[in-house]
Amino acid sequence: MQSSLLQLIIIQFKTFAREPEVIFWSLLFPILMAWGLGMAFNKENESVITIMQVKNDQYPDPSFRKFMETATEIKNINSPDGKAKERDVTIQGLGTTHYKVIDGTWEQAYVLLKRGVVNLVLEERTEGLQFHFDPKSGEAKASYLQFSSILKGKQDDLAQAMIKPLSQKGTRYIDFLIPGLIAMGLMMSTMWGISYSLIEKRSKKLLRRLVATPMSKSSFMVSQFVARFVLCAIEALVLYLFAKYFFDMTIEGNIPALITLFCAGFFAFCGIALLLASRTSNTFVGNGIINVVVMPMMLLSGIYFSYHNFPDAVIPYIQALPLTMIADGIRGVFLEGAGWAELVKPILILSTIGMVTFVSGLKVFKWY
Amino acid sequence: MHPIVKVSNVIKHFKDVKAVDGIDLEMQQGEFLALLGPNGAGKTTLVEMIEGIQQPDSGEILIDGKHWAGHAKELHHLIGLSLQETHFIEKVTVKETLKLFASFYDLPKTRVEEVLELVNLREKQKAFVDKLSGGQKQRLALGIAMLNKAKLLLLDEPTTGLDPTARREMWNILMRLREEHKISLILTSHYMEEAEYLCERIVILDKGKILAQGTLSEILTANNFHEIIEFSFKEKDVNVDFIRNSGLGRIDLDDKTLKYKLFVSDIVVQLPTLLSLVKLNGFSMKSLECHKMTLDDLFIEMTGRRLDQ
């Protein structure tokens, strides 16, 4: 008869293979997400600026009226009284900007501002054209600067600037996204896969039944980890291959260092997962506990957008999160050609986190 | 020879509940023993302490003369058990589940085949566990308990929630086991018939204490009033104080059937007295039935509650 460790691992794989949903959520879903986000941000999309005008025929602004002369009526627009015009303006190096100008009153303007439909409101007054916008919003500010330059007939100033579009590999959004998705997949798969399945086995009294046999407890844990590791590795590999063939991504840095980082990250999450699942037998409580740990990392660790937008004071804390360490590490190897020198620190820290949480989790682990 | 199980003055509290409140129990090898009692009587807690799953607050438990502390590995091999409710892994087949558990005991493949036969699951060997009926799941749990040919089998409510056919099938398997192998069995149940049918010794538990123990006839005859007259009146809301004060025996009203139960020592002597008393008070009977006391009756008589409550 095969050893019990082997049997336990085989059973784990069989349960994965027999739940087709598992394959979808762990393999297909990240790819769909990468594809969707990659396409959305990679497209040569024309920028659209939607403006609300509060007309005052007593004080027409000549430059604005001139701009609107060549604008055409938009049909089927969701505006307060259905009146809106559009016009495209192309500037050398900046591409085409599509302007939509909606007619309305101040009341209507407030509604559309609140809904985020427009971020710029124009008003014709005695003293001239007035721009209303939130100066704290970068987008509104950019819309204002661009539109006011055009009205002043200074679009050439914009075009004369030395503009060189970035489309080089490694600087695209997809390049930023894929390493983040690999890191997040590792976290999600490990935390949910291991924690949840342990809690569920406890709530169904299966753990209790298992330890009433001579089964070795460490074999049981190892089987959980081994099976999950194989799944995580396949997941990461599939995502990478997709990015390689679909978005032409390459790994610039040291691959053995990358694999070691991946393993250290896996170990850290295994330990955390074990610790989180060590006491409760209620799957709802488990759900909450896992979310409390997973959600902040998902939001803060710079998976979708750089965490450098957060205040400087919190950045060191964000960088100390395991998910940030893994995502930054993978990004370093993928995009910046990082190697052992850069990765040795996160690898050591992650391994230590894994070791401490694993040992303490196992110590307080409730089998009954 | 050691008793296979020896429980001495075991106490186990949960917060403010005394789950097991000073129990002594000795069981010889080859004995089939039933722990009978309603929910919350302490059956499961007692069994799980014997299984080494829970630790007593005080007292001593010896299995085949050995403590759990220091002999866990050995005792795991000596015991086979099924818990009150275990859900095995859903998308794993019956045979794979047995194989997995067999691997923990280092058993040969042939043992899995044998057990499949013993618990009548040969036809279901390739079925996923979550597709099994209640009876089949319980037989799988029993099969796992039997894998290692344990000397001592502990089954916690193996037939609770099963229909009569499935229960009967379970009993047949256990009876066969009893005849063919020299094993000892502790079984918990709240079905009196099950205890009567399978076990020579019955221990009745309530609120963590032993109420009565012995063979069925020992338990029943230990009580002087072991015959019962069950009856109801045509009239509504009869005040039965005239019977209660007659000294015939204890009288109870069964809430479920709305019949009175009079516990007497000898029906032949006391029935005529009862009938004339009823007539004298101007009432007439709607139904009348006499029988010997069952364990259910005994339990009601001792606690005022039903066993299957």
DSSP state of B208: T
Which among A113, A140, A165 is the end of a domain?
Answer: A165
Mean predicted confidence (pLDDT) in A347-367: 95
C-alpha to C-alpha distance for B257 and B253, rounded to whole angstroms: 8
Same domain, A81 and A214: no
User: What are the φ and ψ backbone dihedral angles of B234, each rounded to 5 degrees?
Assistant: -70, -35
Last residue of a domain, one of A123, A143, A165: A165
A208 CB near a chain B CB, below 8 Å? yes
Is there a contact between A173 and A331 (Cβ–Cβ < 8 Å)?
A: no
Q: Average pLDDT for residues A78-97, to the nearest whole number?
A: 73
Is residue A324 assigned to a domain? yes
Q: Which residues of B touch A8 (CB under 8 A)?
A: 100, 103
| pLDDT level of residue A296 (50, 70, 90 thresholds) | very high
Q: Are residues A276 and A228 located together in one domain of the fold?
A: yes
Contact A213 B91 (CB under 8 A): no
Cβ <8 Å between A11 and B96: yes
Q: Which tens digits make up the pLDDT trace of B15-55? A: 888 899 999 999 999 899 999 988 888 999 999 999 998 99
Give the CB-side neighbour count of residue A258, counting CA atoms within 13 A: 22
Q: How many angstroms separate the CA atoms of B80 and B151, rounded?
A: 8
Q: What is the pLDDT of residue B185?
A: 94
Question: Cα(A191)–Cα(A200) distance, rounded to whole angstroms?
Answer: 13
Distance CA A208, CA B86 (A): 9
DSSP secondary structure code for residue B122 in this structure: G
Question: With 0-12 CB in 10 A as exposed, 13-18 as middle and 19+ as buried, what is B124?
Answer: buried
Task: Average the pLDDT over A348-356 and give the result.
Answer: 97
For residue A1, is pLDDT > 50?
Answer: no
Residue B298's pLDDT is 80
User: pLDDT for A217-245, tens place per residue?
Assistant: 889 999 999 999 999 999 999 999 999 99
Q: Which residues are CB-contacts of A298 (< 8 A; sequence separation ≥ 6)?
A: A184, A187, A323
Closest CA to A278 of A202, A364, A189, A205: A364
pLDDT bucket at B79, cuts 50 / 70 / 90: very high
How many Cα neighbours within 13 Å face the side chain of B51?
Answer: 29
Q: Do A341 and A243 reside in the same domain of the chain? A: yes
Q: Hey, are the CB atoms on B102 and A1 less than 8 Å from each other?
A: yes
Q: What is the pLDDT of residue B309?
A: 60
Chain B residues inside the 8 Å CB shell of A213: 76, 101, 104-105
| Per-chain mean pLDDT for chain B | 89
Provide DSSP, A296-308. Answer: HHHHHTTSSS-GG
Regarding whether A147 and A196 lie in a shared domain, the answer is: no
Instruction: Over range A74-82, report the average pLDDT.
Output: 65
Residue A24 in any domain: the answer is no
- Give the tens place of pLDDT for each residue, A314-324: 999 999 999 99
Note whether A327 and A355 are same-domain residues.
yes
Pairing mode, strands B17-27 and B32-36: unpaired
* Contact at CB, A7 and B103, closer than 8 angstroms: yes
Give mean pLDDT, residues A265-284. 93
Q: Which two tokens stand for residue B115?
A: 């057990």
- 3-state DSSP percent of chain B in helix, strand and coil, to 5: 35, 30, 35
The stretch B107-123 carries a mean pLDDT of: 93
Q: Measured between CB atoms, does A2 come within 8 Å of chain B?
A: yes
Which is more confidently placed, B224 or A103?
Answer: A103
**Share of residues in chain A with pLDDT > 70 (%):** 91
Query: Which A residues in the span 264-323 are in contact with B, Cβ-Cβ below 8 Å?
Result: none
Mean pLDDT across A55-84: 76
The answer to whether residues A196 and A293 belong to one domain is yes
Q: What are the structure tokens assigned to A108, written together?
A: 């209507």
Could A4 and B103 be called an inter-chain contact, meaning their C-beta atoms sit closer than 8 Å? yes
In Å, how far is B72's CA from the nearest CA of chain A? 8
Quote the pLDDT of residue A202.
93
CA distances from A78 to A102, A103, A117 (A): 10, 11, 10
Q: At B158, which helix (H) or strand (E)? A: none
* pLDDT at A156 (0 to 100): 66
Indicate whether A116 and A213 sit together in one domain.
no
- Give the H/E segment covering residue A265: helix A255-276
- How much is the average pLDDT of B87-108? 94
Six-digit token pair at A31?
Answer: 């790819």
pLDDT at B283 > cutoff 50:
yes
SS3 category, A223: helix
The verdict on a CB contact (< 8 Å) between A205 and B105 is: no
Count of CA atoms in the C-beta half-sphere (13 A) of B34: 29
Looking at the structure of chain A, the number of domains it has is: 2
Q: Which amino acid is at A29?
A: F
CB atoms inside a 10 Å sphere around CB A8: 23
pLDDT tens by residue, B119-128: 999 999 999 9
Q: How far apart are CA B221 and CA A121, in angstroms?
A: 98
Give CA–CA dist A51/A74, Å, rounded.
Answer: 13
Q: How far apart are CA A124 and CA B32, in angstroms?
A: 99
Contact between residue A252 and residue A169 where contact means Cβ atoms under 8 Å apart: no
Q: Is residue A36 part of a domain?
A: no
Listed residue (A221, A208, A202, A207) closest to A283, CA to CA: A202
**Mean pLDDT for the stretch of residues A138-148:** 85
**Which CATH number is A103's domain given?**
3.40.190
What Cα–Cα distance (Å) separates residue A90 from each residue in A14, A65, A69, A87, A155? 58, 19, 17, 10, 9
Domain check: are A134 and A281 in the same one?
A: no
The answer on A156 and A191 residing in a single domain is: no
- Counting residues of chain B whose pLDDT is more than 70, the rounded percentage is 99
- Mean predicted confidence (pLDDT) in A76-94: 71
Of A8, A14, A214, the CB nearest to B105: A214
Helix axis angle for B134-146 and B164-180, nearest 10°, is: 20
| Site of tokens 């006839």 | B217
Q: Is A70 on the interface with B (CB under 8 A)?
A: no
DSSP A5-41: HHHHHHHHHHHHHT-HHHHIIIIIHHHHHHHHHHHHH
Nearest by Cα to B208 from B13, B10, B25, B41: B41
This model's pTM is above 0.80: no
Question: Which of A1, A19, A205 is nearest residue B86 as measured by Cβ atoms?
Answer: A205
Cα distance between residue A211 and residue A362, in whole Å: 14
Lowest mean pLDDT: which of B146-155, B224-233, B300-309?
B300-309
Residue B81 has pLDDT above 90, yes or no: yes
Torsion A127-A131-A132-A136 (CA) sign: negative
Last residue of a domain, one of A126, A143, A165: A165
CB atoms within 10 A of CB A363: 9
User: What is the residue range of A185's domain?
Assistant: 174-364
**Residue A6, domain member (yes or no):** no
Tokens of A246: 């679909």
Closest alpha carbon to B186 in B11, B56, B41, B47: B47
A53 within a domain of the structure (yes/no):
yes
Q: Are residues A145 and A248 in the same domain?
A: no
Partner residue opposite A204 with nearest CB, options B77, B87, B128: B87
- Measure CB to CB from residue B83 to each of A2, A3, A208 and give the nearest one: A208
- In chain B, residues with a C-beta closer than 8 Å to the C-beta of A215 are 104
Q: Same structural domain for residues A199 and A307?
A: yes
Residue A182 domain flag: yes
A21 touches chain B (CB under 8 A): no
| Candidate from A15, A206, A209 with C-beta closest to B91 | A15
Same domain, A204 and A150: no
Minimum CA–CA partner of B112 in chain A: A1
- Is A19 a member of any domain? no
Three-class SS of residue B251? strand
Q: What is the DSSP letter of B183?
A: -
Give the containing element (helix H, strand E) for B33.
strand B32-36
B73 contact residues in A (CB cutoff 8 A): 214
Do B106 and A1 lie within an 8 Å CB cutoff? yes
Residue at A4 is within a domain: no
**A 148-207 near B (Cβ less than 8 A):** 204-206
Residues A208, B53: C-beta atoms closer than 8 Å = yes
Facing residues of B12 across strands? B20
Exposure string over B216-242, b if 16+ CB within 10 A, otherwise e: beebbeeeebbbbbbbbbeeeeeebee
